[in-house]
Structure 1
């Protein structure tokens, strides 16, 4: 495995068929004056590979800033811009939306979101994008609403609550008096919201809720460091997560799939998964505990973090689920905790369950399936199998038969692994990858033709500690579990993986952990940004840096490419990420070749 060092992130390759609004269509080259980026993953398969090649390895050194828009809202910025019919739609932090001329950056309209007062945000103000279809722009909000705007004017068409019942909140009062996290600032915690970009298919908007994993998010005292402790306190908090479909015309709910089943949440008490992972569980004690927690599923967790991929041939939707509740603290949740930390397949028309694969049963480490799944035809021995892949926090790229869910293969580890699946302890157990990943929410890029996938990931050792404290004399001690970054070095890793055999083709190590996502193109290029503000183009064959631009803010969002008036553009938002200590800002950056 080659492992070279670069100060800039590298990007990923994607395999794409261009999409018209919400329906897949044949990719175009440069004959048309406009080529859109019409959905979060470019197409419904979410491959993020563009067939455009006007910008390529030979001329990428001539790439220059075409236009820049400063939005005026300096906060964590994660959005994928959407481009339809020469108009760029960008969701800003706190769910404001801009419509811009994709060739010039001229503002066409702006929607200003009016948030519910005093609504607690789970994970900051960031939003990962909008969906555009049937003359409307759809956005999910930090205050758990789904809103439709007129694509021409930005006028609100409808506005619905998707999670009307708010959840109870964990408090630092439960922490022991000598725990330094007791007095630190809480960045996030229990609060239902929506982070993912919606996806539209067959006149339905599909979106899921987040913030039901129930953990206190504590600021790190070091401004340049990732999020501090994440703490799970034993208790009866909140609700299950869900993914749901809503009618594009009026927003009424068509179906809802709860990520925690009302019956059978405990599963089979498995100690080994089909991919060979062994879990050291006291299943006898868990079975005994079932009688004490008969309603555990009511507080189950299972956020839906990432935009689903859709197989239009079978009307099947694929998405990943988050950790169970309470986070990292398993006393009150015996069993496998289905369907948390799972890849789930549903019928797009009814929401009916088809299959699931649980990567980590009875999760103790926060191993959400955060990176979006991707669909592709997999060359498996002498067969071509319709497959679904997912880059995990644990450091492997998983491949499944997308019709049955059968586990087919996983890659070699794309990040260092140590003590994986060891239990948290009172003295503290250091594990990597941990709660941050591996592959966090960053989408991969997949080159179906050459059977390669490109993954942006991170190495960040985490210490998992179990505590007990007595709040009131004579009462039973309260147990809580914490995950905290260690003082060990952290870095990013960009990997090119051969899907055929799972081996690493090449890797690039970066100074900052990689979070945000990647783009690859037919021009043999990968594009990706870093937290220190570097945005780079790489040779997709070997990862060599071919071009760089330096922003004053972190570049921690997925790049896109599109064509407007016969000119190819590369676009990315630059606003950093507070959870990783990356400089926050408000820039939309768009590049083209010098004339």
Structure 2
């Protein structure tokens, strides 16, 4: 269902609560994607705890009428819940009862190629406005009281340039499948509001061609990386919250210095299996590779108010998997980036995987916290990677302070595609994908949900024949091996896994941890679970009628604590779709 009629809804007859400016950082409600600017997703509410969570029951359920991949993390502000629905519709609900207060129906621009399906990951709030980034690359401000549009701007156009140096041979077994071409540009992240600006970034700029997926949100098939000049640089940008005027833009691919230092290894002297001599030789014919460089901005930023610094992650370079036309490190792709939040100027960056050919986007949102190191407190930023490590940096300097032991199995990491196919894990799915982590700063524990999904990387190198040109490309596709999910509690002091829970399906959606010694997490089979955060013991579960693949939140109204989560599945992983917002409280 792409749209919902408002004919029967009379907004002028609805009495809405007044929505004053909300103070970020309140423990009682949930005013920002990660609860506050730190992105810790940790609630200090304790009414629901390890002793009584078994008594949790459904308080109310809202069915939106839009059944599609549902990844939204709701906001709760002054007892009103705001939820972004698939296809960028937005609803405001009474957070105590679930009553619909207003609805905004988004009309997507005609003929727009969606990047990554209809899902949206959340909203931002400031100055009595709700902000949403859309699948058709717009940033929209709504009146938080009525849902009426205040302004609507284009963040990017849909021109994803494609100048392939080769075409797919119809005799090749992979190319006989349905190759439908480039993805479009869109916005998946929840925006971040900060002072007088709202910040958002674009996605869909770092892909190859897709195979066997007739629609962008279909179950995952193969992805191929074709040599050529296609794609564009990604960016993160800030807009004035009152007018929508762009204040600054940071391009994730610099026009100068993008080739970097041609790093051969990452920390720990782990080889990236690069042919540096060959890359340097090809540089003379690819001096404008940055113009097609990729680097989507996937994750909602974290912001340190004390230093006025913004942190976000970047996606893979373009062309995806095929690196012959983009020598060098491909800065600033697959990086954690720190910017001045007022100007957008670069402070530092840390590239997790230089010259990435595996799709190891920095996708999970960064988290700010005080890190205890050798008896000292260091301001830190942490990030759960697709490669399976949790990185901890000095948030001021960018220095890598620590890297934890892997939270997923690793095999053939950074191996290149071969003619017979190389099986790698984690692969393009992760590791930690887009789902946000939760961090207990007091106990120095981070909770990470992740994916084990072996991926085969195959190199196709076919000579010219029958008047067809030669073709060389890399393909990534899931193997027939078993997949599963892993929920991990990682001790930041020891860098070791404290406990781990294996789930039958990959985990995509994110977490909530609370002061009540609980971690809440959903699964693609519809289970919504609460675990003891100290031991990993399963304490409570509830079965939804669709996959629970979105991040939970917690809030309080009139002394009652609630737990809320969207249950609408994820078609890319084959999890059943739905249209539910589920809210729980104690009996």
TM above 0.5: yes
On the 8 A contact 1:189/1:215 being kept in 2, the answer is yes
Deviations 1:498-525 (A, max 9, x none): 0001001011100000010010111111
On the 8 A contact 2:380/2:395 being kept in 1, the answer is yes
SS in 2 for 1:493: strand
Instruction: Show the counterpart of 2:60.
Output: 67
On the 8 A contact 1:168/1:190 being kept in 2, the answer is no
On the 8 A contact 1:142/1:193 being kept in 2, the answer is yes
Shift of 1:176: 3.5
Gaps of 5+ in 1: 1-19, 29-34
TM-score (norm: length of structure 2):
0.93
Instruction: Show the counterpart of 2:296.
Output: 303
Give the distance between the partners of 2:290 and 2:481, measured in 1 at CA: 37
Deviations 1:32-59 (A, max 9, x none): xxx2100000010000010001111111
Distance 1:225 1:130, change over 3 A: closer
SS in 1 for 2:265: coil
Instruction: Show the counterpart of 1:177.
Output: 170
1:155 to 128, 139, 148: 148
On the 8 A contact 1:60/1:593 being kept in 2, the answer is yes
Give the distance between the partners of 2:169 and 2:508, measured in 1 at CA: 33
Distance 1:249 1:225, change over 3 A: closer
2:568 to 551, 563, 575: 575
Give the distance between the partners of 1:295 and 1:517, measured in 2 at CA: 38
Shift of 1:226: 5.5
Give the distance between the partners of 2:88 and 2:163, measured in 1 at CA: 25
Shift of 1:244: 0.3
Matching of residue 493 in structure 1 with residue 486 in structure 2: yes
Matching of residue 324 in structure 1 with residue 324 in structure 2: no
On the 8 A contact 1:328/1:364 being kept in 2, the answer is yes
User: How many corresponding residue pairs?
Assistant: 566
Matching of residue 483 in structure 1 with residue 476 in structure 2: yes
TM-score (norm: length of structure 1):
0.92
SS in 2 for 1:495: strand
Instruction: Show the counterpart of 1:8.
Output: none
Distance 1:106 1:442, change over 3 A: same
Q: What are the within-5 Å matches in structure 2 for residues 423-434 of structure 1?
A: 423-434=416-427
Give the distance between the partners of 1:271 and 1:137, measured in 2 at CA: 45
Moved more, 464-473 or 443-452: 464-473
Gaps of 5+ in 2: 1-19
On the 8 A contact 1:217/1:227 being kept in 2, the answer is no
Ranked by relative contact order (alpha carbons within 8 Å, sequence separation 6 or more), the top structure is 1
SS in 2 for 1:231: strand
Shift of 1:481: 1.1
1:254 to 247, 263, 283: 247
Instruction: Show the counterpart of 2:345.
Output: 352
Instruction: Show the counterpart of 1:56.
Output: 49
On the 8 A contact 1:467/1:480 being kept in 2, the answer is yes
Instruction: Show the counterpart of 1:135.
Output: 128
1:268 to 245, 261, 285: 261
Give the distance between the partners of 1:187 and 1:170, measured in 2 at CA: 15
Instruction: Show the counterpart of 1:7.
Output: none
Instruction: Show the counterpart of 2:410.
Output: 417
Deviations 1:325-368 (A, max 9, x none): 00000000000000000000000000000000000000010000
Deviations 1:50-90 (A, max 9, x none): 00011111111111111111111111000000000000000
Give the distance between the partners of 2:137 and 2:504, measured in 1 at CA: 35
2:226 to 224, 233, 236: 233
Give the distance between the partners of 1:325 and 1:539, measured in 2 at CA: 42
SS in 2 for 1:236: strand
Distance 1:577 1:165, change over 3 A: closer
1:118 to 107, 111, 123: 111
Instruction: Show the counterpart of 2:384.
Output: 391
Shift of 1:186: 6.2
On the 8 A contact 2:337/2:350 being kept in 1, the answer is yes
2:210 to 211, 217, 233: 217
Deviations 1:246-283 (A, max 9, x none): 00001000000000000011001011223543212111
Give the distance between the partners of 1:417 and 1:209, measured in 2 at CA: 30
